[in-house]
Amino acid sequence: MTRTASLCTASATGILALAVVGLVVGDFPVPAREALATAIWDRGSEFDFVVNSLRFPRVVVAVLAGICLAVSGALFQTLIDNPLVSPDIIGIDTGAAAMAVAVLALGLDTRLLPYAAFAGAVGTAGLIFVLSWRRGFSGGRLVLVGIGINALLTAVITYMLVRFPIERVSAAARWQAGTLSSSSWGDARTLAIGMALLVPAAFLLIRQLRVMQLGDDTAIALGVGLEPSRLTVIIVGCGLAATVVAVVGPLGFVALLVPHVARALAGAFSGGVLLLTALLGAVMLLSADLVAQRLFAPTVLPAGVVTAAMGGPYLLFVLRRFNRAA
Amino acid sequence: MQPDWVSGPKLRAERLFADYGGAPVVKDLTAEIPAGEITAIVGANASGKSTLLRALARLLRPSQGTVYLDGADICCLPTRSVATRVGLLSQSPRVPDGVLVEDLVRRGRYPHQRFFCTWSKTDDQAVERALNLTGLAELRGRAVDELSGGQRQRAWIAMALAQDAPMMLLDEPTTFLDIAHQVEMLDLLARLNRTENRTVVMVLHDLNQACRYASHIVALTSGRIEAAGRPSEVVTADLIQRVFGLKVSVVSCPVTRTPLCIPYRYIY
C-alpha cells in the first residue's frame, strides 16, 4: 500500500473513532454501548433524543463541514500557489458574516440567516473576482484584493456591532465565532447536498490543477484553457466555503491548515493527496468540536475558537520554516 | 521504424506584430520554422527573441498578423490539439512544492488524457521513454527541488518529451547552467532532433552555441529579422555588427567547422 493510501486509511479510521467518541461523550451521561446502539439500530431507546437529535447530527455536520473546508482550501492554495491562502483569508467568510450579522442586527427572521450568509459569501467571491480581473487573472492580485475586501467587511461588521442594540448583536458575535453546537439534521442535509455537488467537481479539476501548478506558460503549452479552468476552480472553492459558512458560521483555519498538513505528509498535489486533505479536514473539525465541548464543560466553546487556537501556533510554525527556506 | 510525424508540423509567422500592451516588440515579422531541424533565435537583449517564441507558442496573442500551425491560425485551434503538436520549455517554469521527478514528467501527458479516462499504457510508455532519453530513470523518485540545475532542466525537458509533441520550443534552455551542463543540454536536444526527428526551436544567448547546434538561425534586431538561414551562410562579421553592435572576427570552429565569433574590444 502506498504512503498516501495508508495515511487515508488511518485518517478514515480516525474519523470513525472520533465520531464514536462524539456520540458517547457529553453533558448527559450515556453508556458507550447504549450510545452506539441508539445511533445505529435501536431507535426506540431512552437515549434517542440525546444521541440522535443532539450528538449524531453534530458529528455528521463536523465531518461534512471539515471535508468541504479542507477541499476548498486545497483548491485555493493549489490554484494560487501560495500556502497562506484560503477562503477565510480572502474574505469569503467575512462576506457571509457581514450579511449574517446584518440579519441579526436588523432583527430580521433568523430563518433567513443561512441564505443571507450564502449570498454574502458568493457575492464577496464575485466582487473579488471582478475587482482582480485585469486583462486576465493573477493569483497574487486576487489575494491582495481579497485581503482588502476582508478588511473592509470587518469594518462593516464592527460598525453594525456597535451601532445596533446589544441584545441583538450578542447573538451575532456568537454566530461569528463559528459553532456546531446547534447542528441539526437539516444542516447535515444542506452540507451533504453541497458536498455531493462540489467535492466530485473538485476531484475532476485535479488534472488541470496539477498542470496549472507548473506556471501559466507551461499550462498553456500543455493545453489547459487557463481562464475557464481558473474560474471553475474558484467557483467550486467558493461554493464549498459558502455552503459551510452558511450552515455553521465562519470557521477559521481549517481550510488554511489542513491542505498544509496533507502536503507535508503525502507530497505534491494529486488525487490521493486531495482525498487525504478531505479526510484530515473531517478529523480536524471533529476533534476541534470535541475539545470545544469538553475542555471547559459544561461551558461549551464555539468550535471556531478551538480551530483558531489549534491553527495559530501551527501557522507560526509554518511561517518560521518558510522564512528559513527563503 | 519512422514515426508518423516524420515531416513534422509546420510553424510559420506571417506579418507578425506583438506587444505587451505598449510599443510593438515584434514588428512585421515573417518567418518559417523548417520542420525536422534545429532553429536558434538569436539577437541582442530586448530584440524580441522571447516575444517571438511566445507568439509561436500561442502564449502571446499577436496584435496583428498570424502564426500558422499546419496552415491554420494557431490561436483558433483547440489548445489541446496544439499541445499534441508543439511542446514548450518555458524560461521560468514553477516547481510545485515537493514534486517528484516522475510525477512532474507524468504531468506532461495532460493533452493526451481524456476527461474520464484513467492513466493508460501509452501514457506509461511515454513517461518511461522521456525518463530514459533524459537519463533520469534512476532519479525518478527524487524531489525536483533537490536536483542540481542541470538535472532539473533535464526533468523539465523530460516533462516536455512526455507531451510527445514533434516540435519543441525552448526559451533559453541553458540559462543558469554552467558550461558543461550547457553542452549536455544542447547535446541532448541535438540527439532528440537526430534520433527522433523532433523539430527544435530555441532562443539562445550564446551565438557560438547557436552556430554549433542549429541548422537554421533567425537573427533579430529590434523586433525584425536581420537574417535567417544556415549559420555558415548568414553569420558574418557584418551581421554580428548589425545585430549586436559588436565588432567580431568570424573564424571556423576547429572542432565543429561551424562559424565561431571572436569579439574585439568593445568600443565605447
Q: What is the pLDDT of residue B207?
A: 92
| Helix H or strand E encompassing B209 | helix B207-213
| CA nearest to B144 within chain A | A268
Cα distance between residue A235 and residue A311, in whole Å: 25
| CA nearest to B108 within chain A | A222
A211 has a chain B CB within 8 A of its CB:
yes
**Residue of B58, B75, B103, B110 to mutate, testing the A interface (most A Cβ within 10 Å of its Cβ):** B110
Which cell is B42 given?
A: 538569436
Question: What would the pLDDT profile of B1-27 be if each residue is shown by its tens digit?
Answer: 334 444 678 899 999 999 988 888 999
Q: Would you kindly state where each structural domain of chain B is located, as residue ranges?
A: 11-85+165-263
Q: Let me know if B69 is exposed, middle or buried by CB neighbors in 10 A (0-12, 13-18, 19+).
A: buried
Cα distance between residue B109 and residue B123, in whole Å: 6
Cα distance between residue A108 and residue B73, in whole Å: 58
Chain B residues within an 8 Å CB radius of A224? 79, 110
Which cell is B62 given?
A: 499577436
A81 has a chain B CB within 8 A of its CB:
yes
Cα distance between residue A156 and residue A94, in whole Å: 10
CA distance to A32, A179, B94, B188, per residue, from B157 (Å) = 59, 50, 14, 9
Q: Let me know if A136 is exposed, middle or buried by CB neighbors in 10 A (0-12, 13-18, 19+).
A: exposed
Question: Class of the B11-85+165-263 domain?
Answer: alpha beta
Torsion sign across C-alpha atoms A80, A81, A87, A91: negative
| Ramachandran area for residue B63 (φ above 0: left; ψ -120 to 50: alpha; else beta) | alpha
Average pLDDT over residues B74-79: 91
Give the helix ranges, DSSP H, for chain A.
3-24, 32-40, 48, 56-80, 92-105, 113-131, 139-163, 166-176, 185-204, 206-212, 216-221, 226-248, 254-266, 271-294, 303-325
- The secondary structure of A290-316 as a DSSP string is HHHHHTTTTSPPPHHHHHHHHHHHHHH
Cα distance between residue A292 and residue A300, in whole Å: 6
Chain B residues within an 8 Å CB radius of A205? none
Residue among B149, B142, B59, B135 nearest B104 (CA): B142
Give the pairing of strands B64-69 and B11-18.
antiparallel
A295 has a chain B CB within 8 A of its CB:
no
Cα distance between residue A72 and residue A236, in whole Å: 8
Chain B residues within an 8 Å CB radius of A79? none
The residue type found at B19 is D
Contact B10, B35 (CB under 8 A): yes
Chain B residues within an 8 Å CB radius of A220? 57-59, 79
Identify which of A210, A220, A263 has the shortest CB distance to residue B59: A220
B103 has a chain A CB within 8 A of its CB:
yes
Q: Are the beta carbons of B94 and A214 separated by less than 8 Å?
A: yes
Chain A residues within an 8 Å CB radius of B103? 267-268, 270
| Helix H or strand E encompassing B83 | helix B79-83
Question: What would the pLDDT profile of B198-253 be if each residue is shown by its tens digit?
Answer: 999 999 999 999 999 999 999 999 999 999 999 999 999 999 999 998 889 999 98
Cα distance between residue A215 and residue A232, in whole Å: 18
**What domains can be seen in chain A, in order of their start residue?**
63-325 (1.10.3470.10)
Which cell is B221 given?
A: 534586431
The residue type found at B27 is K
B97 has a chain A CB within 8 A of its CB:
yes
Q: Are the beta carbons of A223 and B57 separated by less than 8 Å?
A: no
Contact A274, A206 (CB under 8 A): yes
Identify which of A135, A207, A217 has the shortest CB distance to residue B110: A207
A204 has a chain B CB within 8 A of its CB:
yes
Chain B residues within an 8 Å CB radius of A81? 94, 96
Question: What would the pLDDT profile of B82-132 be if each residue is shown by its tens digit?
Answer: 999 999 999 888 898 889 999 999 999 999 987 666 788 889 999 999 999
pTM of the entire structure?
A: 0.89
List, in sequence order, every beta strand (DSSP E) within B132-236.
167-171, 199-203, 216-221, 224-229
Q: What is the mean pLDDT of each run of 10 residues along chain A (326 residues)?
A: 88 92 80 76 75 85 95 92 83 89 84 86 89 77 89 91 82 78 86 94 93 92 90 90 88 89 89 95 93 81 85 80 59
Residue among A274, A240, A244 nearest A259 (CA): A274
B77 has a chain A CB within 8 A of its CB:
no
Cell numbers 494529486 label which residue? A270
